[in-house]
Chain A
Amino acid sequence: MRSLFISVVFALVVTAGAAMKKEAASPPPNKDVKQKPLSLVRVNVTGQPYDYFRPWQKKAPVSKRALGAVLSKGRVLVTADLVTNQNYVELERAESGEKTAANVEVIDYEANLALLEPSEKNFLDGIAPLDIAGDTVVGDRLAAWQLEPTGALVATEGLVTTIQMTKYPVDVGQFLTYRISIPMQYRENSYTIPLVKNNKLAGLLLRYDPRSQLIDAIPAPIITHFLKEAEGENYRGFPGVGFSFFPTRDPQLRKYAGQTGKPGGVYITNVEPNMPAMKAGMQVGDIVLAVGNHEIDQNGNYVDPLYGKIDFTNLISAHSYAGDVLPFQIQREGKPMELKVTLEHRDAKDYVSPPYALDEAPKYLVLGGLIFQELSRQYLKEWGPNWQREAPQRFVYLDRFQSELFPGEHRRIVILSQVLPANNTIGYDEFSYLTVLKVNGQEIKSLNDLAAAVKQPIEGGFIKIETEEDPKQIELEAKSIDAEAPNLQENYGIPSLQRLD
């Protein structure tokens, strides 16, 4: 149930250079900071997202300037947001303006973190790497580091007001977040802003609301988790278990679940097929009382030594790694049990409608002017920040309730997104946003299914497409599609009529 609620998300400020005006009174430079060499580099990124409405092309390039935190072993930490869909990444030394190209070594879209490495190995020489400060608690003061155009450091202090679990931009699960109240001014290159405590890296800017002057930051424990995972051979991502839960505040619900003893724990409302919780034998109706050594209260919180009461999912995402075996103490119809859950990372590709698809070209197939694609949240997000209201409602519904509608299925939802007017599509040009059920009598569960099915026309040389919505059926003539293909490509500037991998 918890996973169904839409949390209020702060406005994500992404425009670099929103406030380039110089302050009248710059804060006096901190002596301690001035003496040390800066552990920051500028990062210049040119990115080009794919155009899901014209899936054969990319959108116009966008340039961003940001800061990266220099870490040990010649690596630079930035947010994944910054380097997503990048064509070119460049590092620039703040004091000299010297530049070099950089590669994205590791990227985790869910935790919104990425590691860059300069192509010139010696480029970061002389820059002291930042250590990670993992012990931030509520009430600490953190400094947001920014650079003046001159290369001078601007440090703005803020107070950590809350430490809690929130959703990150790609909207997969929840992660630990620091909320900091800070009167920060934007500089021209303030896309990724390091937050520093005693000259150690405590967090990285996730989102900033200039009106309330509140920052949400990716906290050090998530950064540490990311860095540790990045040391391994294959980066696996943050682990999950695959269930939904609900607080057990209601005594009637506890009684119904057969709970005995003192109140506490969470009620399991859904267990996803093929995911760790189900593999370990968890069932709907179980009450999870403890994870590891941590007892869970009836609101779903455990007592963290640093933060006090906090959502127990932090024990899974921040404290554990894929492959770890985590003991879950549960109660099933009043009987205590222990389930050993082997944690796994759930890849975006393992969803029916993938929650994100970044740095990869969208699949498509153009057939006589009909454009077929696979449904994904990335596609829906083309409708802008209000996509949940503005995108085609059936698609939003299918995406939102995918685990309920297609439990355990490995499939995609193929859609007929648009129709390009052409000789083959006369009378079809008003169709859009249809869900494809069958092609030539074969069930369609991926775009590759569709590509295979269109190669086997039915009697008479027709291709028959069946859709969930009206018109329910669309027919094309196979030979006329082939004959018209060059014209279609020429007229609409489509370099290739399909991309299937």
Chain B
Amino acid sequence: MKGVPILIAVALLVTSTSYGQQPQPPPQNGQQPNGAPPSDSPIEPRPRDVPPGGRASTPAQNVVAVPVPVAPPRPNGPIQKSLVRITATEVAPDYRAPWNAGMLGRGVGAGFVIEGNRIMTNAHVVSNSRYLTVERDGDPNKYQAKVLFVAHDCDLALITVDSPNFYKNMLALKFGGIPELESTVSAYGYPIGGERMSVTTGIVSRIDFQLYTHSSIDQHLAIQISAQINPGNSGGPVMQNAKVVGVAFQGYSGDVAQGVAYMVPTPVINRFLKDVSDGRYDGYVDLGITYGKLQNPAQRKFLGLKDDDRGVLVETVVAAGPCAKILQPGDVLLSIDNHPIASDGNVELEGERVEMPEVVERKFKRDNVKFDIWRDKQSTSGSVQLDTVPPYLMQSHKYDVRPRYVLYGGLLFQPLSLDLLEAYQPTDLRLRHFFDFYVIDQIYREHPDVIVLTNILPDPINTYLAPYRGGIVDSINGKKIHTMDELSQTLAEPADRLVIDLIGDGPPLVLDPKQVEGARERIKMRYNVVREQNLQELPTAKAPDLQTKI
């Protein structure tokens, strides 16, 4: 089940420095309807104390001499033989100049060796990376690494090193289960504060569903721990009794809340490992419905339900989701895969009461799920093959792909997305509405791409067009435009003039194709535009050679 995209202020845990005069992305604060105080934003992982172009260094004013402690017992064994330090050189796409390669940055995170000569880390440590190196304790060499699998929806990745020497003397870590509340765990990684491995300990504070801020739309189980984790801990193992019980991945920045850190727990890790076992990551599947509790006696009576605290009400069925074939609003779901659904939406799974979507969380693409349904006071049932629900991707962060855009006559057209909103920070009410209600109001059916005139590169041919900025394309020369491909094709068709209607009651935008053609080279030269359009979200980096033994 996808969460409402409320961005709680959570910092991604990777240190990173930008080179030279790279422009900093603007502070992100667009989607914080709950009034969370501004903080280190989820997309801006650069620590504040780092001088531009420099390495992270210990802030001198905070260094206080402390007595050297007696070496503590090491219940988790020689972690140095499993832990690695990952340095990623990344290029983040620039949605304001999408023809450019983007902003260069560097991040440091942690990872650990698991069976099969693989290294597990966070997706956000290796996202948008162009060059990855891995270092291990007591070895002066830097080994080049490559990404095997990356799962942006649960912030996990597997990477590997080709050099045969690398895995010599390395120990693959084993995974444990869900640690008990209040039990002690230790987090290992390379956080700011020094160069070498760091250990922090804490207890398990809470086990609950959380928003994973890397995609900023997915919610999965996460475990809150009181161990201090900081930028650089990302991807590092959290251990208990010599077994990995989680991967450190996100937390609040210090000005929001202290001592609140989260790790990806082993059920999520195991699901990821199982998903990639066929050589491909398919990702989480979703029912594509919303449902509500059925606790009101009058409503139960109206629906002809017994007073047995069972069933949830289907409210919205997303047409692009897998359930559209068998469910309709007003249906009552009585059971899922023969697990009875309580009227508050819980099911019992392996002796634990969990929310109904947990049944789907554990499944994979093309798995089936079966419902017992109560419709029009009749009992029925149905089964669907699970799949992803593509429209949700519009509201999530994207990585490792080039942004789509079309530049025509200096007018930059881009599809609406979370990344686009964060890049431009528009305040336009219509844009916000199209974004917020894209899935739930099924806007994607008419506008698979919500095409926004995001920017205008000034030129004599478009000098009067500035007021049209921020508009959403409705039609061109009377023809409705649904996708970026259609936009590109329609703009290329010969016409005496182009009349672009934007949604709303504004005036049409009128262009003379001959003038546009005449200005093409001039605009490309003046604004250093390498390519005038990109219609596919192609990977930005070369896909890894999967021949390697995994």
Which residues in A have their C-beta under 8 angstroms from that of B476? none
The one of A1, A244, A424 that contacts B467, using a Cβ cutoff of 8 Å: A1
A246 to B467, CA, bound (A): 10
With an 8 A cutoff between CB atoms, is A473 at the interface? yes
With an 8 A cutoff between CB atoms, is B519 at the interface? no
Interface string of B195-219 (1 = CB under 8 A from A): 0000000000000000000000000
With an 8 A cutoff between CB atoms, is B174 at the interface? no
Number of A-B residue pairs with CB-CB distance less than 8 Å in the complex they form: 99
Distance in Å: Cβ of B32 to nearest Cβ of chain A:
11
Known A252-B511, A393-B436, A396-B429; contact A4-B298, beta-carbon cutoff 8 A:
no
CB <8 Å contact, B296 and A256: no
> Which positions 170-229 of chain B face chain A at CB distance < 8 Å?
none
CB <8 Å contact, A1 and B507: yes
Which residues in B have their C-beta under 8 angstroms from that of A1? 467, 505-507
> Which positions 444-501 of chain A face chain B at CB distance < 8 Å?
460, 462, 464, 469-477, 480
CB <8 Å contact, B316 and A426: no
Interface residues on A, range: 35 or more
Which residues in A have their C-beta under 8 angstroms from that of B511? 252
With an 8 A cutoff between CB atoms, is B259 at the interface? no
Q: Say which one of B8-16, B141-149, B249-257, B286-294 lies at the interface with A.
A: B286-294
Which residues in B have their C-beta under 8 angstroms from that of A424? 298
The one of A394, A404, A471 that contacts B504, using a Cβ cutoff of 8 Å: A404
Distance in Å: Cβ of A245 to nearest Cβ of chain B:
9
> 7 additional contacts, CB 8 Å, given A269-B505, A388-B429?
A253-B508, A401-B430, A401-B504, A427-B296, A428-B296, A470-B290, A472-B315
Can you name 16 A-B residue pairings with CB atoms under 8 Å? A246-B507, A249-B464, A253-B464, A284-B505, A393-B429, A400-B429, A404-B504, A425-B296, A426-B295, A470-B290, A471-B315, A472-B315, A475-B298, A476-B298, A477-B298, A480-B298
Distance in Å: Cβ of A51 to nearest Cβ of chain B:
23
With an 8 A cutoff between CB atoms, is B495 at the interface? no
CB <8 Å contact, A427 and B504: no
With an 8 A cutoff between CB atoms, is B163 at the interface? no
The 9 closest A-B pairs by CB, nearest first: A427-B295, A250-B464, A270-B505, A427-B296, A470-B315, A475-B302, A252-B510, A477-B298, A256-B510
Which residues in B have their C-beta under 8 angstroms from that of A270? 505
Interface string of A355-388 (1 = CB under 8 A from B): 0000000000000000000000000000000001
Known A400-B429, A473-B330; contact A252-B299, beta-carbon cutoff 8 A:
no
CB <8 Å contact, A471 and B510: no
With an 8 A cutoff between CB atoms, is B51 at the interface? no
A401 to B429, CA, bound (A): 10
CB <8 Å contact, A246 and B506: yes
Distance in Å: Cβ of A252 to nearest Cβ of chain B:
4
Shortest Cβ distance from A431 into B: residue: B292
Shortest Cβ distance from B436 into A: residue: A393
Interface string of B315-327 (1 = CB under 8 A from A): 1100000000000
With an 8 A cutoff between CB atoms, is A235 at the interface? no
Which residues in A have their C-beta under 8 angstroms from that of B507? 1, 246, 253, 267, 269
Determine which residue in A252, A269, A462 has the highest number of CB atoms from chain B within 10 A of its CB, and name it.
Answer: A252
> Which positions 276-315 of chain B face chain A at CB distance < 8 Å?
290, 292-299, 301-303, 313, 315
Which residues in B have their C-beta under 8 angstroms from that of A426? 295-297
The one of A401, A425, A472, A474 that contacts B329, using a Cβ cutoff of 8 Å: A472
CB <8 Å contact, A252 and B464: yes
Shortest Cβ distance from B294 into A: residue: A427
Shortest Cβ distance from B497 into A: residue: A256
With an 8 A cutoff between CB atoms, is A255 at the interface? yes
Which residues in A have their C-beta under 8 angstroms from that of B527? none
Which residues in B have their C-beta under 8 angstroms from that of A403? 505
A382 to B432, CA, bound (A): 21
With an 8 A cutoff between CB atoms, is A10 at the interface? no
- By secondary structure, the A interface counts as mixed
> Which positions 493-526 of chain B face chain A at CB distance < 8 Å?
497, 499, 504-508, 510-512
With an 8 A cutoff between CB atoms, is A53 at the interface? no
With an 8 A cutoff between CB atoms, is A307 at the interface? no
Which residues in B have their C-beta under 8 angstroms from that of A406? none
> Which positions 119-169 of chain B face chain A at CB distance < 8 Å?
none
Interface string of B227-255 (1 = CB under 8 A from A): 00000000000000000000000000000
CB <8 Å contact, A397 and B290: no
Known A427-B293, A464-B302, A471-B315; contact A253-B510, beta-carbon cutoff 8 A:
yes
A144 to B536, CA, bound (A): 64
Distance in Å: Cβ of A244 to nearest Cβ of chain B:
6
Which residues in B have their C-beta under 8 angstroms from that of A480? 298
Known A244-B505, A253-B508; contact A477-B301, beta-carbon cutoff 8 A:
yes
Which residues in A have their C-beta under 8 angstroms from that of B430? 397, 401
Distance in Å: Cβ of B540 to nearest Cβ of chain A:
34
Distance in Å: Cβ of B328 to nearest Cβ of chain A:
11
CB <8 Å contact, B296 and A472: no
Which residues in B have their C-beta under 8 angstroms from that of A397? 429-430, 433
Which residues in B have their C-beta under 8 angstroms from that of A425? 296
A397 to B429, CA, bound (A): 7
Distance in Å: Cβ of A123 to nearest Cβ of chain B:
49
Shortest Cβ distance from B295 into A: residue: A427
The one of B297, B313, B316, B433 that contacts A393, using a Cβ cutoff of 8 Å: B433
Shortest Cβ distance from B304 into A: residue: A460
A464 to B296, CA, bound (A): 13
A404 to B472, CA, bound (A): 15
Which residues in A have their C-beta under 8 angstroms from that of B19? none
With an 8 A cutoff between CB atoms, is B538 at the interface? no
A253 to B497, CA, bound (A): 11
Shortest Cβ distance from A476 into B: residue: B298
Distance in Å: Cβ of A375 to nearest Cβ of chain B:
15
A49 to B303, CA, bound (A): 42
Shortest Cβ distance from B464 into A: residue: A250
> Which positions 246-284 of chain A face chain B at CB distance < 8 Å?
246, 249-253, 255-256, 267, 269-270, 284
Determine which residue in A269, A424, A427, A472 has the highest number of CB atoms from chain B within 10 A of its CB, and name it.
Answer: A427
CB <8 Å contact, A475 and B296: yes
Which residues in A have their C-beta under 8 angstroms from that of B506? 1, 4, 246, 269
Determine which residue in B296, B430, B499 has the highest number of CB atoms from chain A within 10 A of its CB, and name it.
Answer: B296
A397 to B428, CA, bound (A): 10
Which residues in A have their C-beta under 8 angstroms from that of B505? 1, 244, 269-270, 284, 403-404
